[in-house]
A and B are shown apart, each in its own frame.
Chain A
Amino acid sequence: MPGFFDHSEIWLNQVLAGLVAGAVCGYLGVWVVLRRVVFVAAALGEVAGLGVVMAFFLALHFVPDPAPPAGQASAPRATVALSSPPAGPRSGRAADDAHDDARDDAGVGEPQAGVLSDDDLAAFLTEVGVEQAGQAMGTADAGASPEAGADGGAAAVARRGEVFDEQGVRAYAAPPTGAKRSGGSGGHAEPEVPPWLQPMAVAVVFVVVAASLLSATPRYRRITQESVVGFAYLAASGLLVLVAARIPQGTHEIRHVLYGDSVALDPGQLQVLLGTAGAVALLHVLMFKEFLFVSFDPETAQASGIRTRTVGLLLLVGIGVVIATASRAIGALPAFAFLVLPAVGALLCVSSLRAAFMLAATLGAAASFLGYYLAWVWNFPAGATRAVTAAVLVVPALVVRAVRGS
């Protein structure tokens, strides 16, 4: 594809994150499918998303505003960031609409939470070698500016709407300070968001708590365990929308987290993902035999002296933490897709556990890269394209197994 490999500075981090997330989620997906906790993984994905929006919400309400520099009038706040929350319950669609309205009120050129101003964005794109970026990105509708920089990466960005939308690049270019309450170039001081309120940190805490609760849920005689997981899933989904309705400036970030439409990725998030993947890989190397025994036959494992509840919790927390970090890096939709589909394909194709792990990890990484590349080629949202690509890779295995009747 012309232009794709010429602009690796834009997609390199995102593609690397996708490869890592695809491989790790593919591997973990084998556990998810074999343990029959696909629905649990889906619930944890929703909980991770809830953690992200809660981080924005808490930062908005509990991080004190910094005093403006002496002799300087208080800089005007971004309208979106400080606007009063809408009253009454709002649907997800309403939240999006509210966000769009707010954007219109504020003007796209207005600095917004967590992203760069037009000037900073133009400077960034120029810095990475994308000519005429400022013009391309400074328009209200990036997709409507194909004439801006036809040969440059920014023009490609502008043409690609969802895939390379304006805010995606803004988010990429923004310094990795997590949730912020105001724009970054107004000359006024930025509120410092403490580490414990970073979206990733809050998401991880939420996921760990949810995994602990789900693994400790008592067995009810009148309902299935699946119903309890469904309760967690629906509660997290509903809360996510409700909290998001109170932080309109976060809806764009939320969309990226949920659907994985981000074009690029902040290096800090890539590092967090790499660190998480490394830690989880180490955990699995050290405890593989316990994970396998507890997953295959928990009762016998417990009878032989293994702490099955602790081991099961560790496995689930590891999966949850990867979901949280992968969702933040590449989006919840592709992360969940990689957590299920490659494992399904691998388990259909091979008859050994070791081969299933290797094939699932390979399929996950391949689907991630191929999906991102196809999104560039066909001008599609990256997250959805990655998910569909992972699904397409499974279809041959499904067909073959259906024909063979095994």
Chain B
Amino acid sequence: MGEAEPIVRFENATIGYRHHPLLSGIDLAIAAGEFVGIVGPNGGGKTTLLRTLLGLLRPLGGVVRARRPGGGAVRFGYVIQREHLDRIFPLSAFEVVRMGRTARLGLLRFPDAEDRRKSLAAMACVGIGELADRPFRDLSGGQQQRVLIARALALEPDILALDEPTNGMDIAGEGAVMDILAGLHRQGMTILLISHVLSTVMNRADRLVFIRHDPRMFRAGATADMVRPDVLAELYGTSVRVAEVGGHRVALREIDAVAANAGPGGDRPAGTE
């Protein structure tokens, strides 16, 4: 954790759905400007943790606070899993991005030229300025993801929270999205990124949160401390080791790591991926 005053704090929190607690005793603090990756197997409680932080779910116990250091509520720029969006809406990319201004404007106020400018600037920031008039539903997965990131940025958030933003993307698309997030982080944006793919997160995040519902596990720490074989084995329930390929770390199930050492074609990062 950084030295700055945290803007997000879980104190002995219990998360879950009504009558169905998933994890309890959660203590976590996130400081402004951090890049935190939340990693765990599917169904492990990552999205539940994020939804609790965003206020979409109430904590079943303990306290969850999200306050700016100077006071006032934290503004979250939430990037939902794009699979959850309904593609029958005939909206342009720009119209989707401009939705991000809705909460800023408040009730009974109409978007004006300033909102348009900020929405277009957010699109330019993620490199999709030329897609403004294209139908959202006709865009590729990677382009749609960028539109959703731009929408979150249009809100001018304190924290950018992304839920599996690279799901279903090819390597190029995933790399492009992660480059955008790294760029935003360098500019000082606080980023919370959920992924079930450890390799996607551990090369970018300052800190990692490992979360697993069954058997229960919640652990947070600096990335270097978290990607140790013993910790990963506890998270995934199998032997995992981290190898470095071309300057990037990849997580490999032990059997794959053995195959990778044996020769070409055996370096597929399975199990943890």
Whether a CB of chain B sits under 8 angstroms from the CB of A301 is yes
A-B contact count (CB 8 A): 79
CB-defined interface of A352-371 with B at 8 Å, one 1/0 digit per residue? 11011000000000000000
* Residues B78 and A296 in contact, CB atoms below 8 Å apart: no
The 5 A-B pairs of least Cβ separation, nearest first, read A304-B103, A303-B78, A303-B54, A305-B103, A293-B99
Interface bin, chain B: 20 to 34
Partner of B78, one of A33, A289, A299, A351: A299
Whether a CB of chain B sits under 8 angstroms from the CB of A306 is yes
Residue numbers in B under 8 Å from A301 (CB-CB): 99, 102-103
Bound: A293/B96 CA distance, A: 8
CB-defined interface of B149-170 with A at 8 Å, one 1/0 digit per residue? 0011001000001000000000
Residue numbers in B under 8 Å from A299 (CB-CB): 56, 78, 80, 84
* Residues B76 and A304 in contact, CB atoms below 8 Å apart: yes
* Residues A350 and B90 in contact, CB atoms below 8 Å apart: yes
Partner of A304, one of B85, B102, B111, B135: B102
CB-contacts of A15-51 with B (<8 A)? 33-34, 36
Chain A, Cβ-Cβ closest to B155: A304
8 A–B contacts from the bound complex (CB under 8 Å): A36-B86, A289-B102, A289-B111, A304-B100, A304-B103, A305-B73, A347-B88, A353-B90
CB-contacts of A180-234 with B (<8 A)? none
CB-contacts of B118-173 with A (<8 A)? 135, 151-152, 155, 161
Bound: A289/B152 CA distance, A: 16
Whether a CB of chain B sits under 8 angstroms from the CB of A300 is yes
Bound: A304/B152 CA distance, A: 9
Bound: A305/B155 CA distance, A: 11
Whether a CB of chain A sits under 8 angstroms from the CB of B180 is no
* Residues A306 and B84 in contact, CB atoms below 8 Å apart: no
Bound: A134/B114 CA distance, A: 67
* Residues A353 and B75 in contact, CB atoms below 8 Å apart: no
* Residues A351 and B135 in contact, CB atoms below 8 Å apart: yes
CB-defined interface of A303-320 with B at 8 Å, one 1/0 digit per residue? 111100000000000000
Separation in Å of the A273 CB from the closest CB of chain B? 26
* Residues B55 and A34 in contact, CB atoms below 8 Å apart: no
Separation in Å of the B118 CB from the closest CB of chain A? 14
Chain A, Cβ-Cβ closest to B163: A299
* Residues B108 and A296 in contact, CB atoms below 8 Å apart: no
List 7 additional A-B contacts (Cβ < 8 Å) besides A34-B86, A296-B99, A304-B75.
A286-B108, A287-B108, A290-B102, A300-B78, A304-B103, A353-B91, A353-B95
* Residues B78 and A304 in contact, CB atoms below 8 Å apart: yes
Whether a CB of chain A sits under 8 angstroms from the CB of B239 is no
Residue numbers in B under 8 Å from A287 (CB-CB): 107-108
* Residues A293 and B108 in contact, CB atoms below 8 Å apart: no
Separation in Å of the B146 CB from the closest CB of chain A? 15
Separation in Å of the B90 CB from the closest CB of chain A? 5
- Assess A303 versus B88: contact at CB under 8 Å? Given A287-B107, A290-B102, A297-B80: no
- Assess A306 versus B88: contact at CB under 8 Å? Given A299-B78, A351-B135: no
Whether a CB of chain A sits under 8 angstroms from the CB of B63 is no
Residue numbers in B under 8 Å from A351 (CB-CB): 90, 135
Whether a CB of chain B sits under 8 angstroms from the CB of A292 is yes
Chain B, Cβ-Cβ closest to A350: B90
Bound: A405/B110 CA distance, A: 37
Separation in Å of the B131 CB from the closest CB of chain A? 15
Whether a CB of chain B sits under 8 angstroms from the CB of A302 is yes
* Residues A302 and B56 in contact, CB atoms below 8 Å apart: yes
* Residues A34 and B89 in contact, CB atoms below 8 Å apart: yes
Whether a CB of chain A sits under 8 angstroms from the CB of B24 is no
Whether a CB of chain A sits under 8 angstroms from the CB of B270 is no
Residue numbers in A under 8 Å from B73 (CB-CB): 305
Chain B, Cβ-Cβ closest to A355: B90
Partner of A292, one of B86, B88, B92, B99: B99
- Assess A296 versus B85: contact at CB under 8 Å? Given A302-B55, A304-B100, A352-B90: yes
Residue numbers in A under 8 Å from B86 (CB-CB): 34, 36, 296
Residue numbers in A under 8 Å from B135 (CB-CB): 351
Whether a CB of chain A sits under 8 angstroms from the CB of B105 is yes
Bound: A330/B110 CA distance, A: 34
- Assess A296 versus B91: contact at CB under 8 Å? Given A287-B107, A289-B102, A304-B103: yes
Bound: A299/B50 CA distance, A: 12
* Residues A296 and B54 in contact, CB atoms below 8 Å apart: no
Residue numbers in B under 8 Å from A290 (CB-CB): 102, 107
Chain A, Cβ-Cβ closest to B104: A304
Separation in Å of the A15 CB from the closest CB of chain B? 31
Chain A, Cβ-Cβ closest to B50: A303
* Residues A306 and B90 in contact, CB atoms below 8 Å apart: no
- Assess A306 versus B102: contact at CB under 8 Å? Given A299-B84, A351-B135: yes
Residue numbers in A under 8 Å from B107 (CB-CB): 286-287, 290
